Amino acid sequence: MITERYCQEVLTEYPEYITKEQMYRICHISKKTCLFLLESGLVPSVDSGKRTRRFKIKTVDVVQYLRERDDYPELYKAPDGFYKSAGCKKAPSFDEVFTKSDLVMMRKYYEEHLTNYPDVMSIEQVAGFTGYCKTSVRAWCSKQEVKCFLIRQRFQIPKECLLDFLVSKYFIGIGVKSSKHRKFNEQIRALRKQKST
């Protein structure tokens, strides 16, 4: 298990961007696993396509991966046959990682935290709750990732639609998470552990 102290040490010791070689050493994973994480997009990176120093990876994204690998190990697992066949790059499906009961439990968690919010929420309220900026929330609405209404040039988001979004593949799969989103994940992980014991 990766400790918060180790994460802080990585952030202190390494520059803002690192190479693939630095990443697999930091994460204690094989070169092939590292390549899978980068090529599948599970860890965000800039791919130059070059033979050497191909990937430019933010250190904060690697630390985020370390934290979430403990929470959702199945999400970062290479698919069956990946290590035998170089052509297999498919990540595990959302349904393979999260069971229906997981999503029901997560939805109840968010429902409790949204109790004091109105039935229809503004961009500002959703941004405040999720910890993401208003521009991100507007983008979710514009792309229809979260169902909403446009009233007098302002997006209005029904709480029920926000709840659906919070347990969606899109929201759960956000690469660089807000501090509030990370906190939600920590609390949800604790609930999952309680449930399993």
Task: Kindly state the average pLDDT of the residues 115-144.
Answer: 94
Alpha-carbon span 189 to 193, nearest angstrom: 6
Other residues' Cβ atoms within 10 Å of the Cβ of residue 180: 14
Same structural domain, 48 and 82? yes
Same structural domain, 69 and 120? no
How many percent of the chain have pLDDT more than 70?
A: 88
| Token pair recorded at residue 159 | 């709480």
Same structural domain, 119 and 192? yes
Q: pTM here?
A: 0.56
Same structural domain, 56 and 112? no
Phi and psi at 56, nearest 5°, equal -115, 115
21-30, 57-66, 138-147, 186-195: which has the minimum mean pLDDT? 186-195
Same structural domain, 126 and 52? no
Same structural domain, 20 and 108? no
Same structural domain, 82 and 17? yes
The identity of residue 104, as a single letter, is V
Q: Which helix (H) or strand (E) is 56 found in, with range?
A: strand 55-58
Alpha-carbon span 1 to 25, nearest angstrom: 15
Domain boundary among 73, 93, 113: 93
Domain boundary among 93, 120, 140: 93
Same structural domain, 136 and 79? no
The pLDDT score that the predictor gives to residue 84 is: 61
Same structural domain, 107 and 184? yes
Task: Kindly state the average pLDDT of the residues 150-165.
Answer: 93
Residue 179 has pLDDT above 80, yes or no: yes
Same structural domain, 113 and 26? no
- For the chain, the residue count is 197
Q: Please give the biggest Cα pair distance in the chain.
A: 56
Residue 91 has pLDDT above 70, yes or no: no
Cβ-contact 24, 33 below 8 angstroms:
yes
What confidence tier does 146 reach under pLDDT thresholds 50, 70, 90? very high
Which of 92-106, 112-126, 178-192 shows the highest mean pLDDT? 112-126
The pLDDT score that the predictor gives to residue 158 is: 96
Residue 151 has pLDDT above 50, yes or no: yes
What confidence tier does 103 reach under pLDDT thresholds 50, 70, 90? confident
31-45, 93-107, 168-182: which has the minimum mean pLDDT? 93-107
Alpha-carbon span 152 to 96, nearest angstrom: 41
Same structural domain, 59 and 125? no
Cβ-contact 170, 145 below 8 angstroms:
yes
Structural domain tally of the chain?
Answer: 2
The per-residue pLDDT for range 22-35, each reduced to its tens digit, is 999 999 888 888 98
Domain boundary among 41, 71, 93: 93
For position 116, which CATH number holds? 1.10.1660
Domain range for 77 is 4-93
Same structural domain, 123 and 153? yes
Alpha-carbon span 63 to 67, nearest angstrom: 6
Cβ-contact 163, 110 below 8 angstroms:
yes
- Nearest residue to 177 (alpha-carbon basis) of 5, 48, 9, 60: 60
Average pLDDT of the chain to the nearest whole number = 84
